[in-house]
Chains A and B, each alone.
Chain A
Amino acid sequence: MSVETVEIHAREHDSFLEEVHSFEFWFQSVEGYLAGHPYGVDPSTPIPDLDEEEKATLIATLSTYCVGELAALDGAGGMIGFAPNRQAKIFLATQAVDEARHLEVMLHRLKELGVTDSQREFESRANRNLLAFRKRLLEFVDAKDWEASLLAQNVILESMEFAAFHSHMKTADPRTAQMLSGVLKDERRHMGFGENDLGRHLAQAPHARARLREIKKELDALVLATFEDSQRELGTPASERPEIGRLYLETVARLGFDS
C-alpha cells in the first residue's frame, strides 16, 4: 500500500465528517439523553392529570406528529440506497433509527393517554397536506434525486418538525415536553447534516440552487397548509396561527435556504 497523499485540509475535513457521521458519534450523542429514559422520559416524571379536552387536543397533535415521523422514517431509509458515500449512508442509518424511535415514543405517549390502537388512530387522522408532502418526498426518493430528497427530508421536514415541537414544548405537560426535548436534539443533528451536505453540494453546483428554490416553494405551501389545518383543528386563534409558520421559515432560512 502506498503512503497517504491526500491534501491535508481535505483530509482533515473528511476525517471530521467520518467522525460525526459514525455510529460511534451517534451513540455518544444519544446516550447522554436516552440513558435511563425509557421511551424518552424519566420514569419518575408523574403522569399529568389532563382533562378530556386537553387529552383530545394532545392526541390529535401527537397523531399528526406520527404521520410526519413515519414520512421521515421512510425517507431516511430510502435515501441510504443512493447516498453518495459511506459516511452519508451511515449517518442516514442513525437517522432512520432516530425517526423510528420518535414514532415509538409518540405511540407510547398516545397509549399513556388511553389510545388503544395508536397506529390506526394516527393513520386515520392523517392531514391531507402532510400526506401530499410525504408523497412528494417519496417521489424524490424513488427517483434517487439526492439533492431534492435531502432538501425535502433534512431541511424542510426537519425544520417543520423543529418548529412544531419547539412551539409545543412551551405549553406541553412535563412528560410530553421531556419526550419532545429528546426528539428535538435528534432533529438538530439531522438538520445539521442536511445543511452541511447540501451546502457543500451547492457550493460545487450553484446552478442547482434555482431548482431547489422551486421545490422549496412547492413544499413550503404544503408545510404552511399543514400548520394551518392542525391549528384550526386545535382551536388556536387565527391571530396566533402565523407564529409557528414564521418559526419554520426562520429555521429554514437559518439553514441557508430562504426564499
Chain B
Amino acid sequence: MSDFLNAYSIQTWLESCPQGYLEDTEYGHAPGQKEPELILENPTLRQESIQSTVQLVVGERAALAASSGLINSAPDYPSKRFLATQTLDEARHVEIFTQRLYDLGVKKDELEDVISQYANPHLVKFAEVLLEKVDKGDFLAGVVGQNIVLEGMAFSVFEMMQASNVELNPKFAKTLSGTIADERRHVGFGENRIGSLLQEHPEKKPEIEQMQKDMTYHMLATFADSFRGNAPAMEETRKIAQEAIPDQKHQVWHGTDLGSADPAELENVLADTVLKEFKTRLGRIGLEYQEPAKP
C-alpha cells in the first residue's frame, strides 16, 4: 500500500503540479489570456458560458467539501497527505472557475445569487448524496463517491469541454487542461487505495453500490437537463459561433464530431464515456456497477 502512496507525496505534487504544469499560469491559463470578445459581447453565448461554468463551480465546491472532510477519517497518514493535495487542487478549481464567472462579467456581490439561479438541482442532489457519507466519516464510501464517481464524471466532462473550446476559447481550454491533469491523479488514488480497503470490508459493498447508483442517476439527470433539456439554446449557441468563425475546425471526441452532433448525441457520447469508465474502475476495485433508472 505505502509504495503506491509514495507517488502521491507533497513533494511529488509540488514538482508536478504547481512547479510543473501550473508554472507560469494565472488562474490556470497563460497570463494575459482573455475570454473571447465573441462570448463577452454576445448575450446568448455569455449566458450559456455562465450557466455551464456555474455547474463546474457547484461540482468543485462539492469536491472541496468531500476531499477536506475525508482527511479526518482517513485511516493512515499517506492517505491524509494525498487528500490534503486533493483538497488544495479542488480549492484551486473552485477559485479558477469562480474567476471565470468574474471574467464573464458576474459581479462579486452577485456570485452566490447567480450560482443559486443556475445550479442544476440534480447536480446539487448528486453532491448531497456524497456529502452525507463524508459527514458520517465513512471513508470507504466517501472515496468511492469522490474519487471514482465525482472525479470520473468531472474528468470526462472537462475533456469534452476542453475539446469543444480548443479553437473557440483557448483561455478556457488551457484552464481545463490543468484540471484534467489533476483529476487524472485523483481518480488513480481512488482506484489504488480503495481496492485493498474493500477487500478488508466486503460488508460495505451493498451500501457503496447503492450510493453509486443514486449518484449516477443524478449525474445522468444533470446531463439530460444540460443537453436535451437545453437543446434550443445549445443549437443557437452553436449557430452563432459557426457564423462568427466559419472555418472553425470540428473536434472529434470519442468518435463524435462535437461541431455537428445534435444535443442528444452529445449527451449520449458523454454519458456512455463516463459510464464505461465507471464500470471499468468500479470493477478494478471489486464493485459491480449498478444501473440507475433512466432520467
Contacts and interface: CB of A to CB of B under 8 A. Distances in A.
A258 interface: no
B68 A78 contact: yes
Contact of B108 (A6, A81, A92, A119): A6
Contacts of A100: 10, 80-81, 84-85
Interface stretch (A32-40, A192-200, A241-249): A32-40
Q: Which of A1, A38, A81, A96 is the most central at the interface, judged by chain B CB atoms within 10 Å of its CB?
A: A96
A101 B94 contact: no
A141 B71 CA distance: 12
Nearest to B131: A81
A74 interface: yes
B10 A101 contact: yes
Q: Which of B72, B81, B91, B105 is the most central at the interface, judged by chain A CB atoms within 10 Å of its CB?
A: B91
A77 B72 contact: yes
Interface string A97-120: 101110110010000000000010
Contact of A96 (B14, B76, B87, B107): B87
A130 interface: no
B11 A74 contact: no
A73 B80 contact: yes
B88 A80 contact: no
Contact of B106 (A1, A35, A81): A1
Contacts of B69: 77-78, 80-81
The number of chain A residues touching the other chain, given as a range, is 35 or more
A186 B214 CA distance: 41
Q: Chain A binding site: helix, strand, loop or mixed by DSSP?
A: helix
A208 B114 CA distance: 33
Contact of B72 (A22, A78, A103): A78
Interface string B69-107: 111100011001101110110111011001000000111
A157 B234 CA distance: 52
A80 B65 contact: yes
B109 A97 contact: no
A168 B140 CA distance: 40
Q: Chain B binding site: helix, strand, loop or mixed by DSSP?
A: helix
B65 A81 contact: yes
A93 B106 contact: no
Given A2-B110, A74-B72, A104-B10, A97 B64 contact: no
Interface residues of B, number: 40
A222 interface: no
Contacts of B68: 77-78, 80-81, 89, 92-93, 96
A93 B106 CA distance: 25
A138 interface: yes
Contacts, number: 112
A93 B91 contact: yes
Interface string B6-23: 000111011100110010
Given A77-B83, A78-B72, A138-B72, A93 B88 contact: yes
Interface stretch (A23-31, A55-63, A171-179): A23-31
Contacts of B106: 1
Contacts of B88: 23, 93-94, 96-97
A101 B22 CA distance: 19
A204 interface: no
Q: Which of B19, B70, B114 is the most central at the interface, judged by chain A CB atoms within 10 Å of its CB?
A: B19
Nearest to B57: A86
B137 to A, nearest CB: 9
26 contacts: A1-B105, A1-B106, A1-B114, A4-B107, A27-B18, A31-B19, A38-B11, A38-B15, A70-B77, A74-B72, A77-B83, A80-B87, A81-B69, A89-B91, A92-B68, A93-B64, A94-B88, A96-B68, A96-B71, A96-B84, A97-B88, A100-B85, A101-B11, A107-B77, A138-B72, A141-B72
Given A74-B71, A97-B84, 17 more contacts: A1-B110, A1-B114, A2-B107, A22-B95, A31-B18, A34-B14, A74-B80, A77-B68, A77-B70, A77-B71, A77-B80, A90-B91, A96-B87, A97-B85, A97-B87, A99-B84, A104-B9
